């Protein structure tokens, strides 16, 4: 069975990934990673690794920026510290960084980042000969091309591909648009995502007059790619030779990490037990309960597969509380967003099918009845006849 690899932008999101079924997580340190927006990990890296390992989950550290010369001297110490913390692999794209990693921490496996743009078996084999144990293929490949790479590479070279999340309009994420327009370098983890912006046309002899170039109401988003979703095609990915299914989203919320990880865990488990049957509808529907753009299958079924889409995210659900425990017919909660007695909560347990719970007999920590839950992180309880797993997410439609 393939590995399920989830993003972890900070400790809360790491714990969410672990709780909802990830086999491994990938995270960034305080430098050299391709995401600067998340909190990432510094002094708490050892704690993160220990927590993951205690739950049987591996940790892969991203070191996949293209480092400049003035940063190279700091890289060996950074890698040695991460190795001392117990990380299970480095994710690297730069050849110099790969060489340094093999010198500084030869005991740590190296995974070659999608930033390296691997699209053929010859390149994959060269990285294998240089000591890589895994290649994360370019996102622009079809299933047929992945099958060819699998057939023409050593069997112990692992193949990882993205199965879910945001898609970059630039080849394998190598883009200069953000640098040109904002001074923020996408190749150093600081992308401003100008591909998601709404554009208009200006004619040079009419400055200040913005002309619409829309094909439909709402503007034209000429660079805004669909989100990737392959949850209904996991068996085809495995047949092509993919050994690790990667979820994009280190900058996404803990809620996003929980729901998407849980959905893919449920889909993978179902596919293992029922290889000929379609994924149950409730699993697929979970992915509509997180913030996302319209979904597509990227390039897996051909070069014309990735489309651009109008507008931004669809946000249909919000978390109202997280279950902390269950005692004597009452569900103990920590509030996240405002809710009221009488509302129906859509509850997602860490493992299992979602269920509905009507909010009744809402009380504060002292047992006093309350008419609303407006305060973030407030401790509350509601009547609930059956035990509920800690970590269960209570949601409502926005």
Kind and range of the H or E run holding 387: none
**Does any domain span residue 189?**
no
**Does any domain span residue 266?**
yes
Residues in the chain: 398
Torsion of CA 239, 158, 138, 305, to 10 degrees: 10
State how far Cα 110 lies from the chain centre: 20
Cα separation, 369 vs 349, whole angstroms: 26
pLDDT at 205: 82
Instruction: Please tell me whether residues 261 and 376 are part of one structural domain.
Output: no
Q: By residue range, what is the domain housing residue 242?
A: 3-171+224-305
**Does any domain span residue 179?**
no
pLDDT at 261: 98
Q: From residue 281, how far is each of 115, 231, 314, 354 by CA, in Å? A: 34, 11, 19, 12
**Does any domain span residue 194?**
no
pLDDT at 306: 57
**Does any domain span residue 287?**
yes
State how far Cα 79 lies from the chain centre: 23
Mean pLDDT of residues grouped by 10 in the chain (398 residues)? 95 97 94 62 94 98 90 93 97 95 97 94 98 96 97 98 87 66 71 76 79 62 82 97 97 95 98 94 97 91 65 84 95 96 96 95 94 93 95 94
Q: What is the DSSP string of 248-267?
A: --TTS-HHHHHHHHHHHHHH
CATH number for position 344: 2.40.30.10
- Residues 48-99: pLDDT tens digits? 999 999 999 999 999 988 888 998 999 999 999 999 999 999 999 999 999 9
Number of domain units in the chain: 2
CATH number for position 94: 3.20.20.70
pLDDT at 21: 98
Instruction: Please tell me whether residues 285 and 327 are part of one structural domain.
Output: no
Find the farthest-apart pair of alpha carbons in the chain and give their distance in angstroms, rounded.
74
pLDDT at 127: 98
pLDDT at 308: 61
Instruction: Please tell me whether residues 142 and 288 are part of one structural domain.
Output: yes
- Residues 28-44: pLDDT tens digits? 987 775 555 556 788 89
Q: In terms of DSSP bridges, do strands 89-92 and 110-112 run parallel, antiparallel, or are they unpaired?
A: parallel
pLDDT at 301: 92
pLDDT at 147: 98
Kind and range of the H or E run holding 92: strand 89-92
**Does any domain span residue 192?**
no
What single DSSP character describes residue 298? T
Partners of 132 in the β-ladder: 110
Residue closest to 24 by CA, chosen among 32, 33, 14: 14
């Amino acid at each position: 069975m393939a590995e399920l690899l989830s993003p972890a932008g900070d400790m809360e999101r790491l714990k969410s990934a672990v709780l909802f079924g990830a086999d491994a997580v990938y995270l960034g340190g305080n430098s050299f990673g391709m995401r600067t927006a998340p909190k990432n990990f510094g002094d708490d890296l050892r704690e993160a690794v220990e927590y993951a390992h205690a739950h049987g989950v591996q940790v892969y550290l991203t070191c996949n920026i293209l480092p400049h010369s003035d940063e190279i001297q700091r890289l060996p110490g950074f890698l040695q510290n991460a190795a001392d913390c117990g990380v299970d692999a480095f994710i690297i794209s730069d050849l110099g960084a790969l060489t340094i990693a093999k010198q500084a921490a030869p005991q740590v496996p190296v995974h070659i980042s999608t930033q390296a743009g691997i699209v053929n078996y010859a390149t994959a084999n060269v990285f294998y000969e240089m000591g890589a144990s895994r290649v994360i293929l370019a996102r622009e490949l079809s299933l047929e091309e992945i099958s060819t790479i699998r057939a023409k590479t050593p069997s112990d070279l692992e193949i990882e591909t993205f199965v879910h999340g945001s898609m970059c309009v630039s080849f394998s994420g190598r883009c200069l648009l953000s640098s040109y327009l904002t001074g923020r370098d996408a190749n150093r983890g600081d992308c401003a995502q100008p591909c998601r912006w709404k554009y208009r046309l200006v004619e040079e002899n009419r400055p200040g007059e913005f002309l619409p170039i829309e094909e439909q109401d709402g503007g034209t988003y000429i660079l805004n790619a669909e989100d990737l979703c392959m949850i209904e095609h996991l068996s085809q990915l495995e047949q092509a030779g993919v050994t690790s299914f990667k979820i994009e989203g280190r900058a996404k919320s803990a809620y996003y990490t929980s729901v998407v990880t849980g959905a893919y865990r449920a889909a993978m488990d179902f596919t293992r037990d029922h290889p000929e049957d379609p994924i149950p509808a409730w699993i697929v529907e979970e992915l509509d309960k997180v913030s996302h753009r319209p979904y597509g299958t990227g390039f897996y079924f051909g070069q014309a597969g990735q489309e651009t889409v109008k507008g931004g995210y669809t946000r249909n659900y919000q978390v109202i509380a997280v279950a902390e425990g269950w005692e004597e017919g009452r569900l103990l909660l920590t509030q996240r967003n405002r809710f009221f007695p009488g509302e129906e909560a859509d509850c997602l347990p860490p493992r299992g099918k979602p269920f509905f719970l009507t909010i009744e007999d809402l009380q504060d920590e002292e047992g006093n009845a309350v008419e609303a839950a407006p305060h973030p992180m407030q401790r509350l309880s509601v009547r609930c006849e059956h035990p509920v797993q800690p970590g269960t997410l209570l949601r409502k439609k926005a």
